[in-house]
Structure 1
Amino acid sequence: MKRTNDRAQLAADQELGIGNVLTSLAGRGTGLDRPALTFDTDVEDHPAWQPLTLHELDQRVAARAAALHALGIAPRDCVAVFVSTGADMVLSYLALARIGAIPALINARVAGATAAEYIRRLRATGVLADEAHRAELAPHGLDTPLLADVADLGKGDPAKAPPVYRHHADEPVVITHSSGTTGLPKAVGHSHHALFASIRHRLTLPKPQGLDRMLAALPTAHAAMVIAVNLALTNRVELAVLSEQSGSGVLQAIERWKPQSVLGFAATWSELAGEDLSQWDLDSISVWWNTGDCAHEAHIRRLVAVGSRRSLTPQGIKRTKGSHFVDGLGSTEMGHSQFFITHTPTTDRYGRCIGRPHAFSTVAVLDDDYEPLGPGEVGQLGINAPTLSLGYWNDSVTTYRTRRNGFFLTGDLVYQDEDGWFYHVDRAVDAVELPDGRKLFSAMSEERVLAACDDIRECTVVAVREGGRVTTTVLLIPVDKADIETDRTAQVLAALEDHVAATVDRIVVVDPELIPLGPTGKVRKVLLRERFLAGERFEAGGSRTGDGAVLAS
């Protein structure tokens, strides 16, 4: 069977979805010996960094399904998965989906107390955890039973796996969670067809450049990882799954595994951009694929300067220096990025441009009454797409609060220009209205500062309202070789809009360890605002004080 015909048949198969891609492909009996998934840790007797073929992957998942079935796990049981490695997360998800249970994937970085409360609200049947995460949960009085250690699941007999569950299009298949930057992570349910919708769409299109050998530097419990695994399987390409996503770890994996493309979040691009990329062998990279929050221009420009891509030249199609960066905007609830824009070393459409919507998505910019706004007007982003989640697990109140006039309200503030390009300015919870009626957009302010300051790797802008006054703190994290004593006040203020610069009372170079992050690497600005209102201040160089002193470096 030709590969093009294979992709078209998969796209047309309405039985296919996020719950049964692996078993469906194995059942076809073709390509069983092709490399499929590679993990950075051993899988039983299979060594790390050696690819599992489709057949080997199917057998290891069947072994885990047999072990789970023997533990009494049945269809529609919700089972929390709280583990450290990409192999344990992905194989547990595939095994639970195979028997019709509903895996609830939990980011390994979630604190034990938070995870215990999250699991309680899931009303889960049981918890799959490794030794480290069983210890994390132990002090918190969790009532949900701890099932077998994930290290033992691979000992099951594949021949004793129960029949493959037949998923219905609208049934929940997997639960992932939000970033938790504003509080307890929200559990988000995804259906068999919804989380597969973007993959089905891509299967109807020509296979894109850079999709032969992919490195997933994504949080392993995120919906984006579930999509990446099934995108790779349906396109019959190789995918390597990283268990952690630090900049140095990703660079080491690129040198070792030589991927054509890397999939990641904005936090990873920030770390990569802070490295001296000339010291690493990145020639294999053709495409960086971003999902979740849109990326900053300063980070994108450093990444597209390395690697190589196919380009049309006067001499024909040739490989040229520099890579592609595919940006957009997505979230757990959206189920997939809803926009896309491709950058190269020669492109210049930035300013937090998130591109245009995918063909499967209907988007709108809405005012406070949920009516459409015109070009240039900033409003709430509304999405109507087949990729949308089912809603928040065991929380219909929040689910229906975020659905208005046929749209899911993402919590993002955006605008559209006259040519149909969309731009992201902030999260609604982080924007502040100033006394004169204008708005301070923290994300757009960070974009401006990073674009203006070459020696700054990351910037966090935090605005707080005290009485009738708004004060803004600009926290800077320099690249490793930058002088932390340099006075950047004039440079930062010049980069900001005048009405934003007028609110700034502190510009501080800080130790990155002092910036509170959520499990996926997002800055917890809500927590920073609470700290600042309580009188906490960050001193230049990294320490904290509660004396309220105004400090700048």
Structure 2
Amino acid sequence: MKPHDMGVLFDQCAERGASTRFHLDRPFDLGPGTRTEYSVAQLAVLVRDFAGRLAAAGAGPGDRVAIVKDNHWDYDLLACAAVRIGAVPAQLSAHLPPDVLAVLLGRLRPALLVTTRALLENGRRAGHDPAGLANAVLALDGPAPGALGPDDVRGHDAPAPRSRHDDDPLVIHHTSGTTGAPKLVAHSTRTIIGKLARFEAVRYPRIGLRRDDVLANASAFAHGRTFCWTASVLCLDPRSVTILSRPDPDLSDPLLRARPPTVVEALPAAYVRLRPLTRRLDHAFRDVRLFISTYDAVHPPVLRAYLEASTRRGALWMQGWGQTETGPLTLRFHTRRSVRPAGTGSGARNLGRPVPVRTRLRVVDPDTLRPVRRGCPGLLLTRTPARALTYPGEADRWAAKHIDGWWSTGDLGIHHRDGTVTLLDREVDRTPQLSCLRTEDLLEDRLPGVLEVVVLARPGQAPLPVVVTEDGTLDTVRWRTAVTGLPPLQPPTVLTWRQLPRTGTGKVRRGALLRQLTGDAGTCGSGRWT
């Protein structure tokens, strides 16, 4: 079976006898109760039930339904419920600051906002009341001023499923927002399901899901990757799925040990946070045959830790590079050998090759937009049939990112003669002295035990390195040894994990961090392609 209509997908999978069991690290936010295990049929009931609730709250065909809540997989159940009644769900991360959330809601002007009492109160305290930007508000966890509560919409039958044209808007997500306010991105059934989820819902050798697989997913469930993942996983029907909404090592360990995964997909930041588990005796990653990462590159020490923790011969790490607007553009496969310090691979910043058949890449000079030769750095452009429809509320910005029929990713990189692509930096973050991303990889390799290194470009000054450690300290002798042979850097700023501003996907908000440390967020890049 291949996915198509997300409004009835859970029903269709249940009817054909899908047997996957879903295990949660905590109960869903969409309703009361303590249940943490579901069958596909039980999830289908939840989607139908909430379709009735959304309709009772005033949402209907063609309306936008904004969903903003704590991170959990029920983001996708709520989205499917909205799709079922003909509405267009907009999944917005609760990590967005109140002022930024207000900007996105202002662009959306949703007919219904589905949220929580805490998020409403946080916005009001900050002077940005989310309720004032929607026609109606439904608070999932109880009544709130100006909002409907669960009792107001419970018990209403779901309307008959509404279909839509494959090229009509289906769902709206937003970009990570590492360089400013995120952009809203609208996808259609044809782009996100037809070109992405259906491509993934195939039992490829080695990298495809099997019926006996046990999956673990620690993701940012408000983002487009998991909407696509939900569609493909339901159709591939693995044995079980473990959902980690809060990837804390101590909280996640018992759940992973109860069902040791064979396939793991997680945010790069989640892999970093769960890395201590790889050093425990009888750890839960011993049977993993495939690790999957998206959103951002994973630094080599983290890759090594997980691949060496697996006892599976031929364990693979599949790294996807892409964007909310396009889906994955390239795929790269890492092995234990390729990620060794003296291995044969070309580093974690080599993104592999374009997705076969579907993706084309081109590199141009970021200033003149003229094509550059293979092997030369430049601005990465792409063509893909999976490209989204538009930026809702910012049509001019969408049009400005098109260059002679190509889409500007905003990333700087090199397209090598062998077809592989190396990522250097975001254009807005570039500096003439070095590649910030490559330097981060090198420093993390030279500083075992650090959680993360972030190199920030500054106009007219040496780049500023930020070193993240468990306790916020760093040995100065180790640092001087680590930077030997590198271009000049400023003295490091040492922080703990929680001191860095991050997006909902765990990416460091580089502009916000630079302003936090220096009072100025100015960069060396033009910012034209953000």
Give the TM interval when normalised to the shorter protein: 0.7 to 0.9
1:417-449 superposed Cα distances (whole Å, 9 cap, x missing partner): 22222111111111123xxxxx53211111111
Stretches of structure 1 that go unaligned for 5 or more consecutive residues are 1-6, 312-322, 434-438, 537-553
Aligned partner of residue 451 in structure 2, secondary structure? strand
The corresponding residue for 1:89 is 75
Q: Are the structure 2 counterparts of residues 432 and 287 from structure 1 closer, same or farther at C-alpha, using a change threshold of 3 Å?
A: same
Q: Any conservation in 1 of the 2:191–2:388 contact (CA below 8 Å)?
A: yes
Aligned partner of residue 353 in structure 1, secondary structure? coil
Equivalent position to 1:453, from 447, 452, 458: 447
Once the two structures are TM-superposed, the CA of residue 105 in structure 1 deviates from its matched residue by 0.8
Aligned partner of residue 107 in structure 2, secondary structure? helix
Q: Are the structure 2 counterparts of residues 30 and 275 from structure 1 closer, same or farther at C-alpha, using a change threshold of 3 Å?
A: closer
Using the alignment, how far apart are the partners of 2:473 and 2:504 within structure 1? 30
Using the alignment, how far apart are the partners of 2:387 and 2:272 within structure 1? 28
Once the two structures are TM-superposed, the CA of residue 475 in structure 1 deviates from its matched residue by 1.5
Q: Are the structure 2 counterparts of residues 423 and 40 from structure 1 closer, same or farther at C-alpha, using a change threshold of 3 Å?
A: same
Using the alignment, how far apart are the partners of 2:332 and 2:355 within structure 1? 10
The reply to whether residue 178 of structure 1 matches residue 175 of structure 2 is: yes
One-letter amino acid of the counterpart of residue 481, structure 2: Q
The reply to whether residue 49 of structure 1 matches residue 36 of structure 2 is: yes
Using the alignment, how far apart are the partners of 1:18 and 1:350 within structure 2? 39
Using the alignment, how far apart are the partners of 2:260 and 2:136 within structure 1? 39
One-letter amino acid of the counterpart of residue 98, structure 1: R
One-letter amino acid of the counterpart of residue 453, structure 1: L
Q: Any conservation in 1 of the 2:450–2:467 contact (CA below 8 Å)?
A: yes
Once the two structures are TM-superposed, the CA of residue 276 in structure 1 deviates from its matched residue by 5.6
The corresponding residue for 1:128 is 114
One-letter amino acid of the counterpart of residue 10, structure 2: L
Q: Any conservation in 2 of the 1:23–1:98 contact (CA below 8 Å)?
A: no
The corresponding residue for 2:145 is none
The corresponding residue for 1:337 is 328
The corresponding residue for 2:215 is 214
The corresponding residue for 1:147 is 137
Aligned partner of residue 419 in structure 1, secondary structure? coil
Stretches of structure 2 that go unaligned for 5 or more consecutive residues are 142-148, 522-530
Q: Any conservation in 2 of the 1:19–1:173 contact (CA below 8 Å)?
A: no
Q: Any conservation in 2 of the 1:430–1:441 contact (CA below 8 Å)?
A: no
Once the two structures are TM-superposed, the CA of residue 205 in structure 1 deviates from its matched residue by 5.2
Aligned partner of residue 483 in structure 2, secondary structure? helix
Matches for 1:315-326 after TM superposition, within 5 Å: 323-326=315-318
1:224-282 superposed Cα distances (whole Å, 9 cap, x missing partner): 11111111111122333332234554444422332221212221222233566234332
The corresponding residue for 1:493 is 483
The corresponding residue for 1:291 is 294
The corresponding residue for 1:167 is 164
Aligned partner of residue 181 in structure 1, secondary structure? coil
Alignment root-mean-square deviation, CA: 2.6
Q: Are the structure 2 counterparts of residues 529 and 98 from structure 1 closer, same or farther at C-alpha, using a change threshold of 3 Å?
A: same
TM-score by structure 2 length? Answer: 0.86
The corresponding residue for 1:255 is 257
Q: Are the structure 2 counterparts of residues 250 and 178 from structure 1 closer, same or farther at C-alpha, using a change threshold of 3 Å?
A: farther
% same residue:
23
Q: Any conservation in 1 of the 2:351–2:423 contact (CA below 8 Å)?
A: yes
One-letter amino acid of the counterpart of residue 344, structure 1: T
The reply to whether residue 477 of structure 1 matches residue 468 of structure 2 is: yes
Q: Any conservation in 2 of the 1:210–1:260 contact (CA below 8 Å)?
A: no
Q: Any conservation in 1 of the 2:66–2:92 contact (CA below 8 Å)?
A: yes
Number of aligned positions between the proteins: 493
Matches for 1:81-480 after TM superposition, within 5 Å: 81-139=67-125, 140-142=128-130, 143=132, 144-151=134-141, 156-157=154-155, 160-196=157-193, 197-204=195-202, 206=204, 208=207, 211=210, 212-237=213-238, 238-273=240-275, 277-279=279-281, 280-311=283-314, 323-334=315-326, 336-347=327-338, 348=343, 349-351=345-347, 352-359=349-356, 360-368=358-366, 369-433=368-432, 439-465=433-459, 469-478=460-469
**Structure 1 stretch displaced more, 526-535 or 126-135:** 526-535
The corresponding residue for 1:521 is 506
The reply to whether residue 505 of structure 1 matches residue 490 of structure 2 is: yes
Using the alignment, how far apart are the partners of 2:33 and 2:17 within structure 1? 20
Q: Any conservation in 2 of the 1:86–1:243 contact (CA below 8 Å)?
A: yes
The reply to whether residue 25 of structure 1 matches residue 13 of structure 2 is: yes
Aligned partner of residue 66 in structure 1, secondary structure? helix
Once the two structures are TM-superposed, the CA of residue 378 in structure 1 deviates from its matched residue by 0.9
